[in-house]
Amino acid sequence: MPTPDPPRRARPVTMSDVARHAGVSVMTVSNVINGQDTRVGEVTRQRVLGSIESLEYRVNVSARQLRRGRTGVVGLAVPNLALLYYGELADRLFRSFAQRGFRLVVEHTGGALEAELAALASSHLDAYDGLVLSVTRGEAADLESVGPTRPVVLIGERAVSRQYDHVLMDNVGGGHLATMHLLRSGSTRILLVGGQRGDHDSMPELRTRGYLAAHRELGVPVDERLIVATDFEPVEAYRAVLDAVDAGVPFDAVFALTDSSALGALHGLSSRGLRVPADVQVIGWDDVALGEFAQPSLSTVSPDNPAISDAIADLLTRRITAESPDFDAQIVMPKASLRLRDSTR
Protein backbone atom coordinates (compact mmCIF):
# COMPACT_ATOMS: atom_id res chain seq x y z
CA MET A 1 0.00 0.00 0.00
CA PRO A 2 1.56 3.33 -1.02
CA THR A 3 2.59 5.71 1.73
CA PRO A 4 0.45 8.86 1.65
CA ASP A 5 2.21 12.10 0.90
CA PRO A 6 2.76 14.27 3.97
CA PRO A 7 0.41 17.24 4.21
CA ARG A 8 1.75 20.42 2.68
CA ARG A 9 2.59 23.17 5.09
CA ALA A 10 1.00 26.51 4.47
CA ARG A 11 3.42 29.07 3.07
CA PRO A 12 4.72 31.33 5.86
CA VAL A 13 3.26 34.83 5.89
CA THR A 14 5.80 37.35 4.63
CA MET A 15 6.30 41.06 5.12
CA SER A 16 5.09 41.53 1.53
CA ASP A 17 1.83 39.78 2.45
CA VAL A 18 1.36 42.20 5.34
CA ALA A 19 2.09 45.17 3.05
CA ARG A 20 -0.50 44.02 0.49
CA HIS A 21 -3.08 43.37 3.21
CA ALA A 22 -2.54 46.82 4.76
CA GLY A 23 -2.23 48.62 1.40
CA VAL A 24 1.20 50.05 2.21
CA SER A 25 4.81 49.56 1.11
CA VAL A 26 7.09 46.86 2.48
CA MET A 27 9.31 49.65 3.85
CA THR A 28 6.38 51.03 5.86
CA VAL A 29 5.74 47.59 7.38
CA SER A 30 9.45 47.26 8.19
CA ASN A 31 9.49 50.67 9.87
CA VAL A 32 6.49 49.80 12.05
CA ILE A 33 7.92 46.41 13.05
CA ASN A 34 11.29 47.89 13.93
CA GLY A 35 9.90 50.86 15.84
CA GLN A 36 11.26 53.32 13.25
CA ASP A 37 7.81 54.68 12.51
CA THR A 38 8.09 58.34 13.46
CA ARG A 39 7.13 59.29 9.90
CA VAL A 40 4.29 56.80 9.70
CA GLY A 41 0.88 58.28 10.47
CA GLU A 42 -0.98 56.78 13.41
CA VAL A 43 -3.86 55.56 11.22
CA THR A 44 -1.41 53.79 8.91
CA ARG A 45 0.53 52.37 11.84
CA GLN A 46 -2.61 50.91 13.38
CA ARG A 47 -3.63 49.45 10.00
CA VAL A 48 -0.25 47.73 9.69
CA LEU A 49 -0.45 46.36 13.24
CA GLY A 50 -3.98 45.14 12.51
CA SER A 51 -2.77 43.31 9.39
CA ILE A 52 0.11 41.76 11.35
CA GLU A 53 -2.35 40.42 13.91
CA SER A 54 -4.94 39.35 11.34
CA LEU A 55 -2.42 37.42 9.23
CA GLU A 56 -0.58 36.13 12.35
CA TYR A 57 2.69 37.38 10.89
CA ARG A 58 5.78 36.63 12.93
CA VAL A 59 9.24 37.91 12.20
CA ASN A 60 11.91 35.26 11.67
CA VAL A 61 13.51 36.31 14.90
CA SER A 62 16.27 33.70 15.02
CA ALA A 63 17.69 34.58 11.62
CA ARG A 64 17.33 38.32 12.05
CA GLN A 65 18.80 38.46 15.53
CA LEU A 66 21.67 36.14 14.63
CA ARG A 67 22.64 38.50 11.81
CA ARG A 68 22.52 41.49 14.14
CA GLY A 69 24.15 39.93 17.18
CA ARG A 70 20.99 40.10 19.30
CA THR A 71 19.09 37.65 21.48
CA GLY A 72 15.57 38.49 20.28
CA VAL A 73 14.51 38.65 23.95
CA VAL A 74 13.46 41.58 26.13
CA GLY A 75 12.90 41.47 29.88
CA LEU A 76 10.16 42.87 32.10
CA ALA A 77 11.06 43.16 35.79
CA VAL A 78 8.14 43.93 38.12
CA PRO A 79 7.72 43.98 41.92
CA ASN A 80 4.66 41.77 42.33
CA LEU A 81 3.32 39.30 39.80
CA ALA A 82 0.24 38.63 41.95
CA LEU A 83 -1.17 42.13 41.44
CA LEU A 84 -3.74 42.33 38.65
CA TYR A 85 -2.13 45.33 36.98
CA TYR A 86 1.24 43.69 36.39
CA GLY A 87 -0.33 40.53 34.99
CA GLU A 88 -2.32 42.55 32.46
CA LEU A 89 0.71 44.73 31.65
CA ALA A 90 2.80 41.63 30.94
CA ASP A 91 0.09 40.28 28.64
CA ARG A 92 -0.15 43.53 26.67
CA LEU A 93 3.63 43.83 26.37
CA PHE A 94 3.95 40.19 25.29
CA ARG A 95 1.71 40.93 22.33
CA SER A 96 3.28 44.32 21.57
CA PHE A 97 6.83 42.97 21.53
CA ALA A 98 5.82 39.87 19.56
CA GLN A 99 4.55 42.15 16.79
CA ARG A 100 8.00 43.75 16.76
CA GLY A 101 9.84 40.42 16.66
CA PHE A 102 10.81 40.04 20.31
CA ARG A 103 10.04 37.47 22.98
CA LEU A 104 9.21 38.75 26.48
CA VAL A 105 10.57 37.24 29.68
CA VAL A 106 9.10 38.35 33.02
CA GLU A 107 11.12 38.65 36.24
CA HIS A 108 10.11 39.31 39.84
CA THR A 109 12.03 41.88 41.91
CA GLY A 110 9.85 41.75 45.02
CA GLY A 111 10.07 45.55 45.20
CA ALA A 112 13.61 45.31 46.64
CA LEU A 113 16.25 47.91 45.79
CA GLU A 114 18.95 45.24 45.52
CA ALA A 115 16.89 43.29 42.98
CA GLU A 116 16.12 46.39 40.92
CA LEU A 117 19.80 47.33 40.71
CA ALA A 118 20.82 43.72 40.01
CA ALA A 119 18.44 43.69 37.03
CA LEU A 120 20.50 46.53 35.53
CA ALA A 121 23.88 44.82 35.98
CA SER A 122 25.73 44.07 32.74
CA SER A 123 26.06 40.38 33.60
CA HIS A 124 22.28 40.19 33.89
CA LEU A 125 21.40 42.35 30.89
CA ASP A 126 23.57 40.24 28.56
CA ALA A 127 20.64 37.81 28.32
CA TYR A 128 18.42 40.52 26.80
CA ASP A 129 18.36 43.06 24.00
CA GLY A 130 16.65 45.46 26.39
CA LEU A 131 14.81 45.65 29.71
CA VAL A 132 11.61 47.21 31.05
CA LEU A 133 12.07 47.86 34.77
CA SER A 134 9.32 48.81 37.20
CA VAL A 135 11.01 50.96 39.83
CA THR A 136 9.53 50.95 43.33
CA ARG A 137 12.59 51.49 45.57
CA GLY A 138 15.43 52.95 43.55
CA GLU A 139 16.09 56.67 43.51
CA ALA A 140 17.52 58.49 40.49
CA ALA A 141 21.01 58.50 42.03
CA ASP A 142 20.85 54.72 42.58
CA LEU A 143 20.02 54.03 38.95
CA GLU A 144 22.47 56.54 37.52
CA SER A 145 25.31 54.81 39.37
CA VAL A 146 24.77 51.57 37.44
CA GLY A 147 25.18 52.58 33.79
CA PRO A 148 23.53 49.60 32.04
CA THR A 149 25.04 48.30 28.81
CA ARG A 150 21.69 47.56 27.12
CA PRO A 151 18.65 49.78 26.50
CA VAL A 152 16.35 50.19 29.51
CA VAL A 153 12.88 51.74 29.78
CA LEU A 154 11.69 52.58 33.28
CA ILE A 155 8.09 52.37 34.43
CA GLY A 156 6.81 53.43 37.81
CA GLU A 157 7.29 56.81 39.42
CA ARG A 158 9.98 56.25 42.00
CA ALA A 159 12.98 57.51 40.05
CA VAL A 160 12.98 59.92 37.14
CA SER A 161 16.45 60.06 35.60
CA ARG A 162 17.47 61.75 32.37
CA GLN A 163 19.69 58.74 31.62
CA TYR A 164 16.67 56.50 30.97
CA ASP A 165 13.52 56.53 28.88
CA HIS A 166 10.61 56.60 31.30
CA VAL A 167 6.90 55.88 30.89
CA LEU A 168 4.90 57.40 33.73
CA MET A 169 1.31 57.45 34.89
CA ASP A 170 -0.55 60.72 35.41
CA ASN A 171 -0.60 60.15 39.16
CA VAL A 172 -1.34 63.63 40.44
CA GLY A 173 -3.87 64.30 37.69
CA GLY A 174 -5.62 60.96 38.18
CA GLY A 175 -5.72 61.38 41.94
CA HIS A 176 -7.26 64.82 41.50
CA LEU A 177 -9.87 63.52 39.01
CA ALA A 178 -11.00 60.65 41.25
CA THR A 179 -11.22 62.79 44.36
CA MET A 180 -13.06 65.62 42.61
CA HIS A 181 -15.66 63.18 41.32
CA LEU A 182 -16.26 61.74 44.78
CA LEU A 183 -16.52 65.19 46.37
CA ARG A 184 -18.79 66.58 43.68
CA SER A 185 -21.10 63.56 43.91
CA GLY A 186 -21.78 64.17 47.59
CA SER A 187 -18.96 62.56 49.58
CA THR A 188 -17.07 64.68 52.11
CA ARG A 189 -14.96 62.11 53.99
CA ILE A 190 -12.90 59.99 51.59
CA LEU A 191 -10.85 57.12 52.98
CA LEU A 192 -7.61 57.07 50.96
CA VAL A 193 -6.44 53.45 51.04
CA GLY A 194 -2.71 53.27 50.27
CA GLY A 195 -2.25 57.02 50.66
CA GLN A 196 0.97 58.55 51.91
CA ARG A 197 2.25 62.08 52.46
CA GLY A 198 5.87 62.72 51.44
CA ASP A 199 8.24 64.40 49.02
CA HIS A 200 9.91 61.45 47.30
CA ASP A 201 7.56 61.34 44.27
CA SER A 202 6.58 57.73 44.86
CA MET A 203 3.29 56.53 43.42
CA PRO A 204 1.35 56.73 46.73
CA GLU A 205 2.74 60.20 47.46
CA LEU A 206 1.88 61.56 44.01
CA ARG A 207 -1.68 60.21 44.06
CA THR A 208 -2.10 61.57 47.58
CA ARG A 209 -1.09 65.02 46.30
CA GLY A 210 -3.90 64.85 43.77
CA TYR A 211 -6.30 63.82 46.55
CA LEU A 212 -5.20 66.74 48.75
CA ALA A 213 -5.31 69.25 45.87
CA ALA A 214 -8.94 68.41 45.11
CA HIS A 215 -9.89 68.96 48.75
CA ARG A 216 -8.12 72.32 48.79
CA GLU A 217 -9.76 73.36 45.54
CA LEU A 218 -13.25 72.74 46.93
CA GLY A 219 -12.47 73.93 50.45
CA VAL A 220 -13.15 70.52 52.06
CA PRO A 221 -11.03 69.77 55.16
CA VAL A 222 -9.04 66.52 55.33
CA ASP A 223 -9.10 64.32 58.44
CA GLU A 224 -5.60 62.81 58.64
CA ARG A 225 -7.12 59.57 59.96
CA LEU A 226 -8.54 59.05 56.46
CA ILE A 227 -5.09 58.76 54.82
CA VAL A 228 -4.15 55.13 55.47
CA ALA A 229 -0.80 53.76 54.28
CA THR A 230 -1.08 50.13 53.16
CA ASP A 231 0.43 47.68 50.73
CA PHE A 232 -1.64 47.10 47.63
CA GLU A 233 -2.80 43.54 48.22
CA PRO A 234 -6.61 43.15 48.49
CA VAL A 235 -6.33 41.83 52.03
CA GLU A 236 -4.57 45.01 53.17
CA ALA A 237 -7.39 47.21 51.88
CA TYR A 238 -9.97 44.83 53.36
CA ARG A 239 -8.34 45.22 56.78
CA ALA A 240 -7.99 48.99 56.41
CA VAL A 241 -11.72 49.34 55.81
CA LEU A 242 -12.60 47.07 58.74
CA ASP A 243 -10.21 48.96 61.02
CA ALA A 244 -11.73 52.32 60.07
CA VAL A 245 -15.29 51.11 60.59
CA ASP A 246 -14.47 49.36 63.88
CA ALA A 247 -12.55 52.40 65.17
CA GLY A 248 -15.54 54.63 64.49
CA VAL A 249 -13.76 56.76 61.86
CA PRO A 250 -16.59 58.11 59.68
CA PHE A 251 -16.19 57.98 55.91
CA ASP A 252 -18.58 58.03 52.97
CA ALA A 253 -16.19 57.13 50.12
CA VAL A 254 -13.10 55.01 49.49
CA PHE A 255 -10.39 55.96 47.00
CA ALA A 256 -8.13 52.91 46.74
CA LEU A 257 -4.85 53.52 44.92
CA THR A 258 -5.06 50.27 42.93
CA ASP A 259 -7.98 48.21 41.66
CA SER A 260 -6.65 45.24 43.63
CA SER A 261 -7.02 47.33 46.78
CA ALA A 262 -10.46 48.55 45.72
CA LEU A 263 -11.70 44.97 45.35
CA GLY A 264 -10.53 44.26 48.91
CA ALA A 265 -12.29 47.42 50.09
CA LEU A 266 -15.56 46.32 48.46
CA HIS A 267 -15.39 43.06 50.38
CA GLY A 268 -14.69 44.89 53.65
CA LEU A 269 -17.65 47.22 53.19
CA SER A 270 -19.95 44.32 52.37
CA SER A 271 -18.84 42.41 55.45
CA ARG A 272 -19.84 45.39 57.62
CA GLY A 273 -23.23 45.77 55.92
CA LEU A 274 -22.40 49.02 54.11
CA ARG A 275 -24.02 49.53 50.71
CA VAL A 276 -22.01 50.66 47.69
CA PRO A 277 -22.56 53.33 46.45
CA ALA A 278 -25.57 54.33 48.60
CA ASP A 279 -23.60 54.43 51.87
CA VAL A 280 -20.00 54.51 50.59
CA GLN A 281 -18.73 55.26 47.08
CA VAL A 282 -15.64 53.33 45.89
CA ILE A 283 -13.17 54.14 43.16
CA GLY A 284 -9.94 52.34 42.29
CA TRP A 285 -7.03 52.85 39.91
CA ASP A 286 -5.63 50.77 36.98
CA ASP A 287 -8.74 49.88 34.95
CA VAL A 288 -8.11 46.12 35.18
CA ALA A 289 -10.55 43.84 33.38
CA LEU A 290 -11.81 42.18 36.57
CA GLY A 291 -13.16 45.50 37.87
CA GLU A 292 -16.00 45.42 35.36
CA PHE A 293 -17.22 42.13 36.87
CA ALA A 294 -17.02 43.15 40.54
CA GLN A 295 -20.25 43.52 42.49
CA PRO A 296 -21.00 46.35 42.04
CA SER A 297 -18.85 47.02 38.98
CA LEU A 298 -15.85 49.11 39.94
CA SER A 299 -15.31 52.74 38.98
CA THR A 300 -11.63 53.37 38.35
CA VAL A 301 -8.97 55.77 37.17
CA SER A 302 -7.85 54.68 33.71
CA PRO A 303 -4.16 55.50 33.13
CA ASP A 304 -4.64 54.68 29.40
CA ASN A 305 -3.10 51.21 29.50
CA PRO A 306 -2.93 50.73 25.70
CA ALA A 307 -1.00 54.00 25.28
CA ILE A 308 1.37 53.02 28.09
CA SER A 309 2.10 49.60 26.55
CA ASP A 310 2.62 51.07 23.09
CA ALA A 311 4.98 53.73 24.45
CA ILE A 312 7.06 51.14 26.32
CA ALA A 313 7.37 48.83 23.31
CA ASP A 314 8.06 51.68 20.89
CA LEU A 315 10.74 53.30 23.05
CA LEU A 316 12.60 50.08 23.78
CA THR A 317 12.42 48.87 20.17
CA ARG A 318 13.75 52.21 18.93
CA ARG A 319 16.68 51.98 21.33
CA ILE A 320 17.48 48.40 20.34
CA THR A 321 17.30 48.98 16.59
CA ALA A 322 18.77 52.49 16.38
CA GLU A 323 22.04 52.84 14.47
CA SER A 324 23.12 55.43 17.04
CA PRO A 325 21.09 55.06 20.26
CA ASP A 326 22.50 58.18 21.91
CA PHE A 327 19.42 60.38 21.45
CA ASP A 328 17.88 62.23 24.38
CA ALA A 329 15.95 60.17 26.90
CA GLN A 330 12.20 60.36 26.43
CA ILE A 331 9.56 60.80 29.13
CA VAL A 332 6.01 59.77 28.20
CA MET A 333 2.96 60.30 30.43
CA PRO A 334 -0.47 59.55 28.92
CA LYS A 335 -3.33 61.53 30.42
CA ALA A 336 -5.50 59.80 33.04
CA SER A 337 -9.28 59.64 32.75
CA LEU A 338 -12.17 58.20 34.77
CA ARG A 339 -14.07 55.04 33.91
CA LEU A 340 -17.24 55.36 35.98
CA ARG A 341 -19.33 52.30 36.80
CA ASP A 342 -21.77 51.25 39.52
CA SER A 343 -19.55 51.73 42.59
CA THR A 344 -19.85 55.54 42.39
CA ARG A 345 -22.78 57.87 42.09
Residue 345 domain flag: no
Q: Could you tell me if 179 and 297 lie in one domain?
A: yes
- Residues 49 and 76 grouped into a single domain: no
Judge if 163 and 111 occupy the same domain. yes
Look at residue 343 and tell me if it is in a domain. Answer: no
The stretch 101-112 carries a mean pLDDT of 93
Establish if 6 belongs to a structural domain.
no
Please check whether residues 288 and 165 belong to one and the same domain. no
Residue 2 lies in a domain: no
In a domain, 34, yes or no: yes
Q: Domain for residue 1, yes or no?
A: no
The count of domains in the chain is: 3
- Helices 42-55 and 84-99: crossing angle in degrees, nearest 10, is 90
pLDDT of residue 5 exceeding 60, the answer is no
pLDDT at 163: 84
**Is this structure's pTM higher than 0.85?**
no
Closest CA to 29 of 53, 4, 7: 53
* Together in a domain, 48 and 79: no
Q: Residue 197's domain is classified under what CATH number? A: 3.40.50.2300
Q: Are residues 186 and 293 in the same domain?
A: yes
Residue 160 has pLDDT above 90, yes or no: no
143 in helix, strand or coil? helix
pLDDT of residue 305: 96
pLDDT tens digits, one per residue of 304-337: 999 999 999 999 999 998 865 566 889 999 999 9
Does residue 68 carry a pLDDT above 80?
no
Instruction: Tell me the pLDDT band of 261, cut-offs 50, 70 and 90.
Output: very high
Tell me which amino acid residue 171 is: N
Q: How far, in Å, CA of 109 to CA of 111, rounded?
A: 5
Helices and strands (DSSP H and E) totals, the chain: 13, 12
177 & 116 share domain = no
Same domain for 281 and 228, yes or no, is yes
CA-angle at 144, arms to 138 and 150, nearest 5°: 100
Name the domain boundary from 29, 57, 85: 57
Task: State the residue range of the domain holding 132.
Answer: 62-169+304-335
